[in-house]
Structure 1
């Protein structure tokens, strides 16, 4: 199993605070059956800046420690990039990382409360350069919860999305869990990942999420999400089913 979104690099963001904590996270991942983790430190989120060369160096160091410790998990380089206007300029400066470093897929984070108006244009510009944006944890974005058509249009125009395992098993509350289920049912998401920050209150939960998915939706869905992660790290094109709109209940104020 592959985890495409994880804050396992030590001392770079709000994830692992020490090398020891990184190793504990890797051991927990191995127990769940995770063999490959893409390290995705926050970048340009207003608090943390982690450029490509520093992440690659950190990944090499961590892989050495894992090998020396007999932990059978491989770390690949990546980045969780908060959307910003100069993103393409910084990509041209070689400061940004795709998933694994060699793919064409880029993890993009929106602010938690809204989607910037320029997102559509930026995603178009990215795709014109051969980059494919993956929106991380859309199920936790307030605007997308209230206006799911906004996400439908982004996906219809080429973006992919990655939901968080913890959201699907209810760790962020019932409302987010229900929206995560709606995203799966409407083909508005394409990947599961952990977004793990530690093993205490932000752990992996990937095995538990896949178990729930199998019971709720069937083996084909589990295979779909797992296969897409493998395709991405192997530099191939992921599968995408045609998206559908999420039907929201209308509120008739003053009538009832």
Structure 2
């Protein structure tokens, strides 16, 4: 059975993920144990601290695949990037320095800053969509602005952007508030798929199987849809959301 992870940081020594090849191989073994068969390698790019250029990521991903094969770890990896929202994105695109989820350049992982959604974000996503690129907004549930104003995300969904929730968020690794929002977004059809966003740090390992087991208890059809959407992303095939506005959370008053 194929299980695709579209977002991980297990390439060695390239960002805030795995520090070395030995750790990367251990993370790959853990990913396989978690059911993952194919994974995008998505180091940070344009985030102010890490600029992992396209050719460098392609080279390192090839070397990592060779090491996986030699270690007999059954994981197939592909070069990609987690691109931070930045005014530099158009130039990077023009200079052929962006990697996508698919070979045709249809889907791109887009990360917002942790604390806010900048005012120019909507213009940037509009620009990307105009180029035929669909942004996949990564882990919106962990953005502090969206966490407290989840309706902000709907502006981007209306444009045609897609989203990916971190499996660890959904199962409660980052706390109840983030888990609750993850559930609400999924219930409203505002999420396309899960991803591990695996790092080498504690609490940042893959939780894909646990997340899918939880989702199966709530809506089995979402399990198959999420898995198929992840496959479609790396194949450049159609993914769309049939979403609705989030219901307002009930408030309980104590007199």
Deviates more, 1:93-102 or 1:160-169: 93-102
Q: Could you list the per-position Cα deviations for residues 215-252 of structure 1 after superposition, in whole angstroms to 9, with x for gaps in the alignment? A: 122x20100100000111112111321x211133488x
Q: What secondary structure sits across from 1:11 in the alignment?
A: coil
Q: Shift of residue 198 of structure 1?
A: 2.2
Q: Could you list the per-position Cα deviations for residues 119-164 of structure 1 after superposition, in whole angstroms to 9, with x for gaps in the alignment? A: 1111111111110001000001111122222101211110000000
* Selected match of 2:17 from 15, 18, 22: 15
Measured in 2, the distance between the counterparts of 1:4 and 1:239 equals: 16
**Is the CA contact 1:165–1:209 (under 8 Å) kept in the aligned structure 2?**
yes
**Is the CA contact 1:160–1:190 (under 8 Å) kept in the aligned structure 2?**
yes
TM-score using structure 2 length = 0.95
**Is the CA contact 1:40–1:79 (under 8 Å) kept in the aligned structure 2?**
yes
Counterpart in the other structure of 2:150: 148
Q: What secondary structure sits across from 1:62 in the alignment?
A: helix
**Is the CA contact 2:162–2:240 (under 8 Å) kept in the aligned structure 1?**
no
**Is the CA contact 1:77–1:100 (under 8 Å) kept in the aligned structure 2?**
no
* Selected match of 2:79 from 74, 77, 80: 77
**Is the CA contact 1:38–1:100 (under 8 Å) kept in the aligned structure 2?**
no
Counterpart in the other structure of 1:224: 225
TM-score using structure 1 length = 0.94
Q: What is the aligned length?
A: 253
Q: Shift of residue 185 of structure 1?
A: 0.8
Measured in 1, the distance between the counterparts of 2:20 and 2:157 equals: 37
| RMSD (CA atoms) | 1.8
Counterpart in the other structure of 1:94: 96
Q: What secondary structure sits across from 2:109 in the alignment?
A: strand
* Selected match of 2:106 from 104, 113, 117: 104
**Is the CA contact 1:32–1:206 (under 8 Å) kept in the aligned structure 2?**
yes
Counterpart in the other structure of 1:119: 121
Q: Could you list the per-position Cα deviations for residues 77-110 of structure 1 after superposition, in whole angstroms to 9, with x for gaps in the alignment? A: 1101110112112111011111144441000111
Runs of 4+ in 1 over 2 A off after TM superposition: 100-103, 198-201, 247-251
Counterpart in the other structure of 2:70: 68
* Selected match of 2:210 from 205, 208, 224: 208
Structure 1: give runs of 5+ residues left out of the alignment: none
Measured in 1, the distance between the counterparts of 2:209 and 2:71 equals: 23
Counterpart in the other structure of 2:244: 244
Counterpart in the other structure of 2:198: 196
Q: Shift of residue 45 of structure 1?
A: 1.3
**Is the CA contact 1:42–1:80 (under 8 Å) kept in the aligned structure 2?**
yes
